[in-house]
Homo-oligomer: A and B are copies of this chain.
Amino acid sequence: MSGWLAIAGLGPGDDRLVTPEVSQVLAQATDVVGYIPYVARVAPRPGLSLHPSDNRVELDRARAALEMASAGRRVVVVSSGDPGVFAMASAVFEALEGREDWQALDIRVLPGITAMLAAAAAAGAPLGHDFCCINLSDNLKPWSVIETRLRHAARADFAMAFYNPRSASRPEGFAKALTTLREECGPDRLITFARAVSTPEQRLTTVSLGEAMPEMADMRTVVIVGNSATRRVGPWVYSPRSAR
What residues of chain A have their CB less than 8 Å away from a CB belonging to chain B? Answer: 11, 14-21, 24, 58, 82-87, 89-94, 96-97, 100, 103-104, 107-114, 117-118, 120-122, 124-135, 140-142, 145, 148-149, 152-153, 155-158, 233-236, 238-244
Contacts and interface: CB of A to CB of B under 8 A. Distances in A.
B90 A238 contact: yes
A148 B240 CA distance: 19
Contacts of A117: 82, 84-85, 111-112, 114
A112 B11 CA distance: 10
B133 A131 contact: yes
A93 B141 CA distance: 37
A96 B141 CA distance: 42
A158 B113 CA distance: 21
A97 to B, nearest CB: 6
Contacts of A152: 152-153, 155-156, 158
Nearest to A150: B156
A24 B18 CA distance: 13
Contact of A18 (B20, B94, B121, B233): B20
Nearest to A17: B19
A43 to B, nearest CB: 15
Contacts of A83: 121, 125
A90 B239 contact: yes
Contacts of A135: 129-130
A121 B130 contact: no
A141 B111 contact: no
Nearest to A156: B152
Contacts of A121: 82-84, 89, 108-111
24 contacts: A11-B19, A16-B24, A83-B125, A84-B117, A84-B120, A84-B128, A89-B125, A90-B239, A90-B241, A91-B241, A93-B233, A94-B240, A96-B233, A108-B121, A111-B113, A112-B117, A114-B117, A130-B134, A130-B135, A132-B156, A140-B243, A141-B242, A152-B152, A152-B156
